[in-house]
Amino acid sequence: MDLFDLAGKTALITGGNGGLGLGMAKGLVNYGCQVILVGRNEEKLSRSVSDINQDFSNMAHGLVGDVNSDDDLGQIVVDGLNVWGSIDILINNAGISIRKQPQDLLDDDWDNVLNTNLTSVFKLSKLMYPHFVSIGHGKIINIGSMYSIFGSDWVVPYSASKGAVIQLTKSLAVAWAEKNIQVNAIIPGWFETDLTASIPTLDPTRYEKISNRIPTGKWGIPEDIAGTAVFLSSPGSDYITGTSVIVDGGYSAS
């Protein structure tokens, strides 16, 4: 048996229409997995689906939806299950950040980030639980951050939400282990994505400090996270649950 063979499997990926989500989707498709990309921007979503299907015919499907909407979350699950009949892997990747000092944050800023980065992870995982039980297996991969480990003065709600995602991952792993549902997290380091694109311009000193600390000498690109997503989605990780895999070029070790 090929431990990393994902042929016949389907993954639902929130925030899958760009950045790390799209990078993980492309990695999964390379190992035979069909992917359902979820995003709010329909035009961007369509481009990402076409990008994958150009090389891998009919392996990607797009669903427009907002993870902050309970109605959308429910419809995402219903529509996702209708695409190929089953979902084996859920990747909770959608996330946002608001860069302000804590004293300048509005209550709405806090609520928006926490709802997107944390509450939606719980709600979508809970919605998928009955299906995973019905098929006898499931993989959930939650996306953390370096700020799951470190504190931050400029992305306080983001840091709080990503720290909580790791604890949620552990708790769901314990709760659902007997149902053969593995719940793990990936903690990405500093990657070149839309979320970080403004840092070199808005805060060049911080960008330089980050870059100098990465032992590999470079920021990651979305493709660098693909292998970890494949592993945690595959039979090779069936005895791994409740853990977090750091993918950061050595940043957190330096």
Mean pLDDT of the chain: 96
Mean pLDDT of 202-223: 91
Instruction: Write down the domain spans for the chain.
Output: 10-247
Concatenated DSSP letters of 85-114: S---EEEE-------B-GGG--HHHHHHHH
Per annotation, catalytic residue among 31, 147, 158, 251? 158
Question: What is the structure's pLDDT at 144?
Answer: 98
Annotation says 147 is catalytic: no
Per-residue pLDDT of 152-168, as tens digits, reads 998 999 999 999 999 99
DSSP state of 67: T
The band of 169, judged by pLDDT with boundaries at 50, 70 and 90, is very high
Question: What is the structure's pLDDT at 159?
Answer: 97
The band of 198, judged by pLDDT with boundaries at 50, 70 and 90, is confident
pLDDT above 90 for 202 = no
Task: For residues 238 and 242, give the distance between their C-alpha atoms in angstroms, rounded to a whole number.
Answer: 11
Model confidence, pTM: 0.97
Task: For residues 178 and 116, give the distance between their C-alpha atoms in angstroms, rounded to a whole number.
Answer: 28
Q: Position of tokens 């997503």?
A: 229
Instruction: Please tell me the class of the 10-247 domain.
Output: alpha beta
Per-residue pLDDT of 84-104, as tens digits, reads 999 999 999 999 999 899 999
pLDDT above 80 for 244 = yes
Concatenated DSSP letters of 15-66: TTTSHHHHHHHHHHHHTT-EEEEEES-HHHHHHHHHHHHHHSTT-EEEEE--
